[in-house]
């Protein structure tokens, strides 16, 4: 159930800290029914307009058959149908993996249209009894809210629950779903897992990108949650009384928990207009089997006692079903789901500017910044196609940092609105600082934009390097757009012979 490697198969655990195995909670889920012997040549296909069934189809219907290696998909779909999945209009097919681990990687599964669909069609509907949420896991909404407002996220709770369920093997109700998550290993449509599971050498593909720091920060956050797992064990007795295993930090090493956390992170769905205990959900037939796209409008939605997907576009049978991944920049898409969307309208980078705390007039400048909706440490978001607007937004903030004359500072305090150009030399100094910062940031990448384009055009990059190269190329495009905008402002200055003013307390840019 993990991205890079599965949640470790359970070995028999012995130790002094077993919890007592209490009588089963009445909320415990039923054991799966015994499965019949596998049938030969079983294929998962869409047999008619409303049914997801194995094998035969009506004459003349277009049947998108999966590759011969889909026996696990058949077991997964059998389990869904046996436990209440209504007839749908989708099929589970194979997506070849571009880079095999010594030939041992199986193709990834994905949800495709089982027949031709029109915008507005319900592709599938999963009953809430087959959806994993904290309400289902803990059986007590108040406990769920308490845990997630303290030190543990919903993702940590869900990951721990599935790790313990995996230890039960085939006795777990969720065994077919966990087996499917194990197969996917948290990989999305590009067959790449989150950089949280990359090696140090692979992380070097991201050199120069803020993504490297984001990976470190997220890793530290996961470790903090790991250290709090025992709290969940002791607070949620109703959950763990059925598991005769050690407490979490003794049952699972950190790396195993991290793999499970990343896998859950890659497939969790954020449901809208539901209680806190239901807002993060693991939905069979949801991600990572669905294909994410930033410019899509289709979403998994909670409707009564089910989670439904209504498609937003027409599909031909066999085409991957696409859903919206939310308004996330590409750095977040890579960190969470292992892919980059070239057409992402929500892509952005961040430039952090901060007033100099050593400045004798720091407090006055902070007051002016706050009056104009800015902070002493302010993040400016550079969005696709909005580079010039962002530079224009930054200029008043940076001008403020360059003011050193107390009389000028008082005049600004007594006025309203943003800080206008103070003098030609200050304006040149502000723009020169911006240009220097942008050039320095671009120089921090080991490759140029042209080199990135050439590598991608060659088409021989291994998957992780390819997705990393796509990310840094998009970041560089945004930085080049900002640099071009700053140069345009410089070219618009009335006098190019003016030297930049000295600035002992210039703002800092990161």
Query: What Cα–Cα distance (Å) separates residue 156 from each residue in 134, 161, 197?
Result: 11, 9, 16
Tell me the backbone φ, ψ of residue 172, rounded to 5 degrees: -75, 135
- State the DSSP code for 68: T
By DSSP bridging, strand 122-127 and strand 291-293 are unpaired
Q: Which residues contact 510 (CB under 8 A, 6 or more apart)?
A: 351, 352, 353, 354
Overall average pLDDT of the 329-336 stretch? 96
- The pLDDT of residue 142: 59
Give the E-state strand segments of 32-87 in sequence order: 44-48, 51-54
What is the mean predicted confidence (pLDDT) over 381-399? 95
pLDDT of 150 reads: 63
Percent of the chain with pLDDT over 90: 57
Task: Give me the half-sphere count of Cα atoms (radius 13 Å) on the Cβ side of residue 120.
Answer: 0
With a cut of 50, say whether residue 30 has pLDDT above it.
no
Crossing angle, helix 254-267 and helix 175-184, to 10 degrees?
Answer: 90
Give 245's contacts (C-beta < 8 A, 6+ positions apart). Answer: 10, 13, 18, 19, 164, 167, 251
- Residues 397/434, Cβ–Cβ less than 8 Å: no
- The three-state DSSP-derived secondary structure of 261-317 is HHHHHHHEEECCCCCHHHCEEECCCCCCCCEEECCCCCCEEEECCEEEEECCCCECC
pLDDT of residue 72: 58
Query: How far apart (Å, rounded) are the C-alpha atoms in residues 304 and 353?
Result: 47
What is the pLDDT averaged over residues 154-160?
Answer: 90
| Residues, the chain | 510
Question: Which pLDDT score, from 0 to 100, does residue 100 have?
Answer: 47
pLDDT at position 299, please? 95
Residue 8 has pLDDT above 70, yes or no: no
Count other Cβ atoms within 10 Å, centred on residue 27: 12
Q: What is the pLDDT of residue 11?
A: 35
Let me know: does 68 contact 42? Beta carbons within 8 Å. Answer: no
Mean pLDDT of the chain: 81
Residue 326 near residue 345 (C-beta atoms within 8 A): no
**Whether the predicted pLDDT of 10 surpasses 70:** no
DSSP string, 320-349: BPEEE--S--HHHHHHHHS---TT-TT-EE
The residue that leads in pLDDT, 442 or 33, is 442
Neighbours of 116 (CB within 10 A): 16
Q: Which of 158-172, 232-246, 260-274, 374-388 has the lowest mean pLDDT?
A: 232-246
Which positions ≥6 away from 115 have C-beta within 8 Å? 46, 48, 49, 61, 62, 89, 317
In which band, very low, low, confident or very high, does the pLDDT at 139 lie, cut at 50, 70 and 90?
Answer: low
* Angle, vertex CA 270, rays to CA 311 and CA 300, nearest 5: 15
Q: What is the pLDDT of residues 13-27, one digit of tens each?
A: 333 333 322 223 333
- The arithmetic mean of pLDDT across residues 423-429, rounded, is 88
Q: For residue 98, what pLDDT is reported? A: 63
pLDDT at position 32: 37
* Average pLDDT score over residue span 165-171: 90
> What is the pLDDT at residue 97?
72
Taking only Cα atoms into account, the Rg of the chain, rounded to an integer number of angstroms, comes to 27
Residue 63 pLDDT class (50, 70, 90 cuts): very low
- CA 250 from chain centre, in angstroms, equals 28
Q: Name the pLDDT band for 49 (thresholds 50, 70, 90).
A: very low
> What pLDDT score was predicted for residue 141?
58
Cβ contacts of 9 within 8 Å, gap of 6 or more: 166
- Confidence bin at 243 (pLDDT 50/70/90): low
Tell me the C-alpha to C-alpha distance, in Å, between residue 363 and each of 400, 413, 419: 12, 11, 16
What span, in angstroms and rounded, lies between the C-alpha atoms of 420 and 397?
Answer: 10
**Is 148 a residue whose pLDDT tops 80?**
no
Q: Kindly state the average pLDDT of the residues 329-356.
A: 96
Average pLDDT of the residues in 252-261: 94
Give me the phi and psi of 49, to 5 degrees please: -60, -30
- Higher pLDDT among residues 412 and 294, named by residue: 294
């Amino acid at each position: 159930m993990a991205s890079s490697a599965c949640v470790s198969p359970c070995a028999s655990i012995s130790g002094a800290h077993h919890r007592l195995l209490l009588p089963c909670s009445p909320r415990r889920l039923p054991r799966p029914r015994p499965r019949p012997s596998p049938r030969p040549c079983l294929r998962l296909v869409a047999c008619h307009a409303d049914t997801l069934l194995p094998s035969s189809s009506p004459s003349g219907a277009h049947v998108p058959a999966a590759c011969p290696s889909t026996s696990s998909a058949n077991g997964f779909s059998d389990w869904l149908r046996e436990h209440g999945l209504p007839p749908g209009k989708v099929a589970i097919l194979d997506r070849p993996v571009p880079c095999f681990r010594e030939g041992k990687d199986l193709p990834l599964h994905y949800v495709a249209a089982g027949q031709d669909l029109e915008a507005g069609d319900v592709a599938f509907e999963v009953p809430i009894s087959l959806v994993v949420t904290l309400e289902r896991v803990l059986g007590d909404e108040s406990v769920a809210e308490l845990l997630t407002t303290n030190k543990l996220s919903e993702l940590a709770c869900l990951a721990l629950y599935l790790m313990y369920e995996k230890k039960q093997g085939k006795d777990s109700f969720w065994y077919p779903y966990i087996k499917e998550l194990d197969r996917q290993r948290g990989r999305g449509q590009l067959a790449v897992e989150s950089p949280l599971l990359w090696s140090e050498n692979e992380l070097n593909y991201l050199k120069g990108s803020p993504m490297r720091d984001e990976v470190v920060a997220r890793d530290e956050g996961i470790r903090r949650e790991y250290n709090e797992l025992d709290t969940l064990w002791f607070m949620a007795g109703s959950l763990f009384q059925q598991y005769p295993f050690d407490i979490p930090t003794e049952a699972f090493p950190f790396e195993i928990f991290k793999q499970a956390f990343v896998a859950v992170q890659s497939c969790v769905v954020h449901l809208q207009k539901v209680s806190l205990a239901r807002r993060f959900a693991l939905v069979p037939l949801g991600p990572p089997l669905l294909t994410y796209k930033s410019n899509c409008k289709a979403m998994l939605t909670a409707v009564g006692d089910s989670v439904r997907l209504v498609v937003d576009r027409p599909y031909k049978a066999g085409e991957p079903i696409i859903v919206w991944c939310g308004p996330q920049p590409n750095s977040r898409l890579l960190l969470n789901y292992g892919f980059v969307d070239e057409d992402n309208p929500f892509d952005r980078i961040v430039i952090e500017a901060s007033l100099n705390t050593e400045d004798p007039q720091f407090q006055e400048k902070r007051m002016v910044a706050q009056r104009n909706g800015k902070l002493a440490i302010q993040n400016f978001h550079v969005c696709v196609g909005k580079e010039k607007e962002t530079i224009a937004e930054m200029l008043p903030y940076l001008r403020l940092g360059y003011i050193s004359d107390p009389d000028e500072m008082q005049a600004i305090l007594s006025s309203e609105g943003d800080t206008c150009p103070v003098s030609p030399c200050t304006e040149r100094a502000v723009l020169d600082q911006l240009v220097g910062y942008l050039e320095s940031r671009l120089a921090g990448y080991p490759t140029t934009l042209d080199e990135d384009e050439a590598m991608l055009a060659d088409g021989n990059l291994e998957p992780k390097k390819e997705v990393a190269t796509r990310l840094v190329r998009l970041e560089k495009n945004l930085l080049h757009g900002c640099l071009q905008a700053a140069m345009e402002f410089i070219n618009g200055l009335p006098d190019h012979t003016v030297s930049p003013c000295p600035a002992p307390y210039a703002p800092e840019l990161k």
